[in-house]
């Protein structure tokens, strides 16, 4: 029953306003739709739910926990935070939070920050290398914990931004898939928030006063291409409300015959249907 005010410590103190109840129902419905649409459930599996301390990962953890609580997600959830040694990272926040919320978890320390700063020139963009190192460690942890999937908090807006980054800078039509298999073929990677708006994640985590940890501790976020894309999408959204929703829908409505990739559609094999002269003019 979605109107139940509290079902888990993660929801203690949740607002009882109609606005929040609608938000909560929408998030539950969208995550459930993504999980079912993209075939994420393996009954009895164990998921490594990656928790950075940002608004998106808190939302991910809470909604997955609610679905599990309701018997709609028959998997075990293990929250995991990878402390990468960034200066100023509040190392006690997440362990204390997860313990208080009675969430099974693992906290891992790996100083990948020093590795990144030793290889990237001052002022350079650290995100790509940092992300690769983080992903490798998360895969290792998932294997150690007997998990079949690594679950990330990328939302609908992340998928759109990645699409436009690839379009403008990568020369390809691609985004973040809601589900994929890693290169070694032994782990799934899931994005259950693929249908969820970033604004809803922000509203949800703020309403529940989760202890947000900023994602810019390394100081490498300013001026990134992704930030420029986000600004562009924001401007479009102001001029045409609902545009993000329409664009996100397009990612699920691809027509290879109306693009130009011969590897996806056999343009060379297209044939006309030509009627015979007898059919066209009749017998003489």
* CATH code at position 188: 3.40.50.620
Residue 284 has what pLDDT?
54
Instruction: Return the pLDDT at 223.
Output: 47
What tokens does 241 get?
A: 């409300």
SS3 79: strand
Q: Which domain holds residue 251?
A: 9-281
Q: Does the predicted model carry a pTM greater than 0.85? A: yes
Does some domain include residue 237?
A: yes
Whether residue 2 is contained in a domain is answered as: no
Q: Tell me the pairing of strands 179-181 and 76-83.
A: unpaired
Beta strands, E only, 93-153: 105-109, 149-151
At residue 1, the pLDDT reads 42
- Number of domains the chain is built from: 1
Q: What is the pLDDT of residue 130?
A: 78
- CA torsion angle for 70, 202, 47, 151 (degrees, to 10)? 140
pLDDT tens sequence for the chain (284 residues): 444 445 789 998 899 999 999 999 999 999 999 999 999 999 999 999 999 999 999 999 999 999 999 999 999 999 999 998 888 889 999 999 999 999 999 999 988 888 877 877 776 666 777 788 889 999 999 999 999 999 999 999 999 999 999 999 999 999 999 999 999 999 999 999 999 999 999 999 999 999 999 876 555 554 478 889 999 999 999 999 999 999 999 999 999 999 999 999 999 999 999 876 555 555 55
Nearest Cα to 197, choosing from 29, 12, 13? 29
The total of other beta-carbon atoms located within 10 Å of residue 75's CB is 20
147 close to 46: Cβ distance less than 8 angstroms? yes
DSSP, res 168: I
Q: Rounded distance, CA 57 to CA 79, Å?
A: 10
Query: Is residue 171 one of the residues assigned to a domain?
Result: yes
Q: What are the respective helix, strand and coil percentages of the chain, to the nearest 5?
A: 45, 10, 45
Two structure tokens written together for 220:
């490498």
* Nearest alpha-carbon partner for 199 in 63, 62, 55, 49: 55
- 51 domain residue, yes or no: yes
Q: Name the pairing type of β-strands 76-83 and 46-50.
A: parallel
46 CA to centre of own chain:
18
């Amino acid at each position: 029953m979605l109107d139940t005010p509290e079902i888990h410590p993660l929801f203690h103190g949740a607002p009882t306003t109609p606005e929040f109840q609608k938000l909560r129902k929408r998030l539950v419905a969208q995550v459930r739709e993504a999980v079912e649409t993209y075939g994420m459930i393996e009954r009895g599996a164990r998921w490594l739910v990656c928790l950075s301390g940002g608004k998106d990962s808190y939302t991910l953890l809470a909604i997955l926990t609610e679905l599990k609580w309701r018997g709609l997600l028959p998997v075990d959830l293990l929250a995991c935070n990878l402390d990468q040694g960034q200066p100023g990272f509040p190392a006690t926040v997440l362990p204390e939070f997860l313990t208080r919320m009675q969430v099974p978890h693992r906290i891992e320390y790996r100083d990948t920050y020093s590795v990144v700063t030793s290889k990237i020139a001052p002022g350079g963009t650290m995100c790509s290398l940092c992300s690769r190192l983080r992903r490798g460690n998360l895969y290792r942890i998932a294997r150690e914990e007997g998990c079949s999937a690594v679950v990330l908090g990328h939302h609908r807006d992340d998928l759109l931004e990645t699409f436009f980054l690839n379009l403008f800078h990568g020369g390809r039509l691609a985004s973040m898939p809601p589900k994929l298999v890693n290169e070694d073929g032994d782990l799934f990677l899931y994005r259950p928030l693929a249908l969820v708006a970033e604004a809803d994640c922000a509203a949800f985590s703020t309403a529940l006063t989760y202890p947000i940890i900023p994602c810019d501790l390394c100081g490498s976020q300013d001026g990134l291409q992704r930030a420029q894309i986000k600004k562009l999408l924001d401007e479009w959204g102001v001029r045409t409300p609902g545009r993000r929703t329409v664009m996100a829908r397009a990612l699920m409505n691809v027509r290879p015959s109306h693009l130009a990739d011969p590897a996806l559609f056999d343009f060379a094999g297209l044939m006309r249907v030509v009627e015979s002269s007898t059919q066209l003019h009749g017998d003489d």
